[in-house]
């Protein structure tokens, strides 16, 4: 199981899919689940719906995870041929300083580069550590012989082209996986693995479940449409945020009680906790102060649902992320227990 889930996570993280340009990652998931025999539907927004029939088709569940990631877009081609960038998603420039990246043109050409502070060299710029890492000072240094704006334009690069970050995925002998974009490709990989379990073990779900793979979560409106009126429970299957003052860690499943959008549904949260206790799944209940999810986006869009959130504990979210196989296992166990439990 360990090798299989890590292989799937690694395959997903290595597919460029910043919000607004997640088609390749959606196609990967679509191919994987259709190969297992599931029927899929693409929404107009480009999200993927996988509906698994259960004994009760009138009261349904939805579990959403997202394949879109943080990224950037070309804002300007500078006079020296380098690129100014504008961020996609909520993160800071210092989280990507020194990162290798890829720029994909509208014609489908891909170029590599490095995200740098303009005043990087300490041999030229004294006290460059005092310079703000922001849109004025951060840029992409292309791995091409360009000396001018015209040189870069000649490559086919233009304003609005997408910039993706090198995921740098590594799996350690101690059971960690560290990579960009574990948020939320780790959850998507766990859904794929659970769909395999359903088929291999001929599991019968008590309720029909719509697995909703969204593609715009990082910009706030992923799974907020195409929601069946039959859906009662709506789970955002996303990461647990770690840091000072947080209860969650890299070795348990994190259950969210509240985030920046407000409290999650009390009865549903209590059911998730009860399932952990009943099945001896290590868990932590937590509050994420600067966080929102596709479940809260669905509520804002007017969905009449009970919303919940749980997922693996992810260290250094929206930067160079990491989690441990123990957290993955606990999260997979709660996913299966919840899917096989009746709506309360």
What does the pLDDT look like over 238-255, one tens digit per residue?
999 999 999 999 999 999
Residue 29 is assigned to a structural domain of this protein: yes
* Confidence label for 1 from pLDDT (cuts 50, 70 and 90): low
Together in a domain, 308 and 213 = yes
* CATH code, 223: 3.40.630.10
Indicate which residue of 32, 99, 139, 217 is catalytic. 217
User: What do you get for the CA distance between the two ends of the chain, in Å?
Assistant: 30
On the 0-12 / 13-18 / 19+ scale of CB atoms within 10 A, 116 is middle
The reported pLDDT for the residue numbered 133 is: 96
Omega before 184 within 30 of 0, i.e. cis: yes
Report residue 313 CA to chain centroid gap. Answer: 13
- Domain boundary among the residues 165, 195, 212 is at 165
Looking at the structure, tell me whether residues 16 and 44 fall in a common domain.
Answer: yes
Instruction: Report the alpha-carbon distance of residue 159 to residue 72 in Å, rounded.
Output: 11
Enclosing domain of residue 134:
71-165
8 and 49, same structural domain? yes
How many domains does the chain contain in total? 2
Are 153 and 198 within one domain?
A: no
Annotated binding site for Zn(2+): 66, 183, 218, 238, 318
Both structure tokens of 196: 């395999």
The verdict on residue 100 lying in a domain is: yes
Same-domain status, 76 and 117? yes
pLDDT at 182 over 80: yes
Residue 292 lies in a domain: yes
- Which of 165, 199, 227 is a domain's end point? 165
Say whether both 299 and 157 belong to one domain: no
- 302 sits in the region (left: phi over 0; alpha: psi -120 to 50; else beta) called left
Closest CA to 180 of 16, 6, 320, 5: 320
DSSP sequence for 80-94: TS-EEEEEESS--GG
Better-predicted residue by pLDDT, 2 or 119: 119
- Establish if 173 belongs to a structural domain: no
Q: By three-state DSSP, how is residue 120 classified?
A: coil
Task: Cite the annotated binding site by residue number.
Answer: 66, 183, 218, 238, 318
- Read off the pTM: 0.96
C-beta of residue 156 within 8 angstroms of C-beta of residue 109: yes
8 and 34 co-located in one domain: yes
Q: Is 277 helix (H, G, I), strand (E, B) or coil?
A: helix
Tell me what the mean pLDDT of segment 206-235 comes to: 96
174 inside domain: no
Alpha-carbon distances, residue 101 vs 97, 220, 339 (angstroms):
11, 24, 38
Task: Answer yes or no: is pLDDT of 299 > 80.
Answer: yes
Q: Tell me the sheet residues that pair with 236.
A: 64, 309
Q: Do 186 and 282 fall within a single domain?
A: yes
Residue 129 inside a domain? The answer is yes
Distance from C-alpha of 334 to C-alpha of 313, rounded to nearest angstrom: 13
Residue 217 annotated to the active site: yes
CA–CA separation, 20 and 96 (whole Å)? 19
Q: Is the pLDDT of residue 88 over 70?
A: yes
pLDDT digits (tens, 9 = 90+) for 249-274: 999 999 999 999 999 999 999 999 99
Q: Can you tell me the mean pLDDT for 309-327?
A: 98
pLDDT in tens, 20-43: 999 999 999 999 999 999 999 999
Q: What is the CATH number for 114?
A: 2.40.30.40
Q: Is the dihedral of CA 203, 209, 210, 215 positive or negative?
A: negative
SS3 (DSSP) at 227: coil
Q: For residue 172, is it within any domain? A: no
What distance in Å separates the CA atoms of residue 332 and residue 326, rounded to the nearest whole number? 10
Do residue 200 and residue 265 come from a single domain? yes
- CA 90 to the chain's CA centroid: 12
User: Do both 55 and 100 map to the same domain?
Assistant: no
Single residue among 119, 141, 165 that ends a domain in this structure: 165
pLDDT band at 3 (very low <50, low <70, confident <90, very high): confident
Looking at the domain assignment, is residue 171 inside a domain? no
Query: Are both 208 and 242 inside the same structural domain?
Result: yes
Rounded Cα gap, residues 317 and 182, in angstroms:
8
Q: Are residues 300 and 199 in the same domain?
A: yes
Under 8 Å CB-to-CB from 301, ≥6 apart: which residues? 221, 224, 225, 227
DSSP code of residue 130: G
The yes-or-no verdict on residue 309 having pLDDT over 70 is yes
């Amino acid at each position: 199981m360990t090798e299989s889930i890590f292989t799937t996570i690694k395959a997903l993280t290595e597919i460029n899919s910043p919000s607004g340009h997640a088609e390749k990652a959606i196609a990967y998931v679509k191919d994987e689940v259709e190969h297992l025999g599931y029927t899929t539907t693409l929404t107009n927004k480009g999200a993927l719906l996988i509906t698994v029939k259960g004994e009760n088709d009138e009261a349904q569940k939805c579990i959403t995870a997202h394949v879109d990631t943080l990224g950037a877009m070309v804002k300007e081609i500078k006079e020296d041929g380098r690129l100014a960038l504008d961020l996609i998603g909520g993160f800071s420039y210092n989280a990507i300083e020194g990162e290798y990246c890829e720029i994909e043109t509208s014609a489908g050409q891909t170029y590599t580069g490095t995200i740098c502070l303009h005043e990087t060299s300490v041999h030229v710029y004294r006290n460059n550590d005092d310079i703000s890492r922001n849109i004025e000072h951060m840029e992409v240094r292309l791995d091409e012989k360009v000396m001018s704006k015209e040189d870069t334009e000649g490559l086919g690069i233009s304003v609005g082209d997408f910039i993706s970050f090198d995921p740098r995925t590594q799996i350690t002998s101690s059971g960690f996986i560290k990579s960009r974009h574990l948020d939320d490709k780790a959850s998507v990989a766990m859904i794929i693995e659970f769909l395999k379990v359903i088929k291999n073990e001929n599991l019968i779900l008590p309720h029909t479940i719509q697995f909703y793979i969204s593609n715009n979560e990082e910009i706030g409106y992923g799974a907020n449409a195409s929601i069946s009126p039959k859906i009662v429970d709506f789970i955002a299957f996303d990461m647990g945020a770690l840091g000072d003052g947080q209860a969650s860690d890299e070795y348990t499943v994190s259950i969210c009680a509240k985030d920046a959008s407000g409290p999650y549904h009390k009865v549903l949260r209590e059911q998730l906790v009860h399932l952990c206790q009943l099945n001896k799944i290590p868990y932590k209940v937590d509050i994420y102060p600067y966080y929102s999810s596709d479940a809260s986006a669905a509520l804002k869009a007017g969905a009449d649902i009970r919303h919940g959130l749980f997922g693996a504990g992810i260290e250094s979210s929206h930067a160079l992320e990491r989690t441990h196989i123990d957290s993955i296992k606990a999260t997979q166990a709660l996913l299966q227990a919840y899917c096989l439990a009746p709506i309360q």
